[in-house]
Amino acid sequence: MGSLPLDALQPLDPDTFAADSSAVVDFLAGYYRDVDKYPVRAADLEPGRLRRLLPEAAPEFGEPAERILADVRRDVLPGLTHWQSPSFFAYFPMNASAAGFAGEMLSVGLNVVPFMWVASPAAVELEAVVVDWMARLVGLPDRFLFSGSGGGGGGGVLQGSTCEAVVCTLAAARDRALGRIGHEGIVKLVVYASDQTHATFQKGARLVGITPANFRVVPTAAASGYALTGAAVRAAVEGDVARGLVPLYLCATVGTTGIGAVDPVRELGEVARRHGMWLHVDAAYAGSAAICPEYQGYLDGAELADSVSMNPHKWFLTNMDCCCLWVASPAALTAALSTDPEYLKNAGGGKPQAAAGAGAIDYKDWQISLSRRFRAMKLWFVLRRYGAAGMRAHIRRHVAMAEWFERAVSADERFEVVAKRRFSLVCFRLRGGGGGGDAMNRELLAAVNASGRAFMTHFVVEGKFVIRLAVGGAMTEMRHVGDAWELVQRTAEQLLQRR
């Protein structure tokens, strides 16, 4: 490996590549062996620690890979929060896997850019195939597929995040509406979501130029399991229409971030249809569960939606980043997002772009950016390496662990489960009314996280502070969930005794 003399900088020399890469594979295999020995959340929470360890400027001369890896081990690892730790229960899982890694390595190594069909035909076609595979697995109607038994007509794309998917579909809906009412009407457009919808929806709406005063945050309640009801949306829409505003876009969530609530897709779809709104179904986390028949009912009514998205990078063993976005009308999307400058025209030969129906898709017109990564390879690798049956087992294993945790919490009278568990997210708290209870739960969470032996996050439901335990790590086994519960119990005991 060694340092490279300047006149011999051969950045893709196969032997150096293999040697450096093998060293990284060994490093990572060792990391996975030891990851449960690190504090889950970075132990040293002093801002500026790493910055102080590193020089102000890049080195003038190159260094061997071993030395860089040694610095990663010494300086970087202790400052990381370990998302792949089996005791990481915070936020939502962000799955890594051997297959996701292998697929991503292929994509990174080939480093092709499937932004237009001609720029990498097989990469584009693999993406079209794999999004169809995923659509079938989660039981989406044919209208979201390129090739369905009913003819398809829609199609999917792999983006980096739900936020991007929301921005793209909002832009599509907006431009469709502005084509009707003129661009000055942009200040009249209104978007709808619930108080449980992910905050990035409002960020996305703001990004595409919707007036912040026109974001409707429709309240939810315990009675409906914190789901958005059709009646509440209808009331909000009718009020806006009466004031001369234009309903644009409704975001339904299957598996909200806070507590995993599920909005009724069919009911909301009917309201959206009646008022000419774009309906997007955000199944970022829970969409993975829909590969199991027992969860597909949550997507019932999806045929009334204009777009659906889910993130294989969360709970589907696909390393960051990978978000499936399916649309019923690719034309609506590309009308808002296409560009056709001279330097991208296909004058140098090859098939005309008109052949999109046959698979010659220019994905640059389906997303924000021009350039893009070959994300299809890793999702394809995951699906082939583990198979649909393996992936279902993966999902059910985590749900079973969450069920166990939920039962354990319910069986301890000091605790309560808050909001119904539907997937692998359990929301719970120490009983005790009012602000005192909240302070105690905050203390409990802080102490659990400070132990370094588990990492959880929180949410606030109807003013009450609740602790979220999201099961889903690729290395999480029953014993880790059991340890987490013991840790919570023991920490709570200490807190309660001190009072």
Residues 391 to 420 in contact with its own copies, rule: CB under 8 A: 393-394, 397
Residue 331 binds its own copies (CB under 8 A): no
In the region spanning residues 141 to 170, those forming contacts with its own copies, defined by CB under 8 A, are 147, 160-164, 167
The least CB distance from residue 439 to its own copies, in Å, is 11
Q: Which of 38, 40, 104, 415 binds its own copies (CB under 8 A)?
A: 104
Question: Is residue 181 helix, strand or coil?
Answer: helix
Residue 156's DSSP bridge partners are 326
Taking contact as CB under 8 A, which single stretch among the options 324-332, 350-358, 411-419, 489-497 is the one that binds its own copies? 350-358
- For residues 198 and 253, the answer to whether their CB atoms sit within 8 Å is yes
Which residues, 6 or more positions from 52, have their beta carbon under 8 angstroms from its beta carbon? Answer: none
Which residues, 6 or more positions from 435, have their beta carbon under 8 angstroms from its beta carbon? Answer: none
**Rounded Cα gap, residues 93 and 90, in angstroms:** 7
Q: Which of 386, 405, 415, 428 binds its own copies (CB under 8 A)?
A: 386
Residue 194 binds its own copies (CB under 8 A): no
The least CB distance from residue 304 to its own copies, in Å, is 24
Q: Which of 37, 58, 293, 497 binds its own copies (CB under 8 A)?
A: 58
Site mask, its own copies, residues 230-269, x = CB under 8 A?
---------------------------xx-----------
Which residues, 6 or more positions from 128, have their beta carbon under 8 angstroms from its beta carbon? Answer: 146, 155, 156, 359, 361
Residue 489 binds its own copies (CB under 8 A): no
In the region spanning residues 32 to 51, those forming contacts with its own copies, defined by CB under 8 A, are 32-33, 41-42, 44-51
Q: Which is nearer to its own copies, 19 or 417 (CB)?
A: 19
Site mask, its own copies, residues 4-23, x = CB under 8 A?
x-xx-xxxxxxxxxx-xxxx
Q: Which of 36, 152, 206, 487 binds its own copies (CB under 8 A)?
A: 206
Q: b/e string for 409-442 if b means 16 or more Cβ within 10 A?
A: beebeebbbbbebbbbbbbbbbebeeeeebebbe
- DSSP secondary structure letter of residue 363: G
Q: Which is nearer to its own copies, 210 or 308 (CB)?
A: 210
In the region spanning residues 81 to 100, those forming contacts with its own copies, defined by CB under 8 A, are 81-84, 90-91, 94-100
Q: Which of 173, 208, 286, 484 binds its own copies (CB under 8 A)?
A: 208
Question: Is residue 105 helix, strand or coil?
Answer: helix
Of the candidates 137, 128, 172, 135, the residue with the CA atom closest to the CA atom of residue 329? 172
Residue 370 binds its own copies (CB under 8 A): yes
Residue 105 binds its own copies (CB under 8 A): yes
Angstrom CA distances, 338 to 146, 332, 356, 362, 497, stand at: 19, 10, 14, 9, 63
Q: Which is nearer to its own copies, 203 or 431 (CB)?
A: 203
* Torsion angle (degrees, nearest 10) of CA 328, 332, 334, 340: 150
Residue 347 binds its own copies (CB under 8 A): yes
Residue 125 binds its own copies (CB under 8 A): yes
Q: Which alpha helices (DSSP H) does 35-88 contain, by range? A: 49-53, 65-71
Residues in contact with its own copies, counted by CB under 8 A, come to a total of 184
* Torsion angle (degrees, nearest 10) of CA 223, 229, 235, 237: 150
Residue 294 binds its own copies (CB under 8 A): no
- Both tokens of 49, joined, read 């620690």
The least CB distance from residue 274 to its own copies, in Å, is 26
Which residues, 6 or more positions from 12, have their beta carbon under 8 angstroms from its beta carbon? Answer: none
The least CB distance from residue 261 to its own copies, in Å, is 13
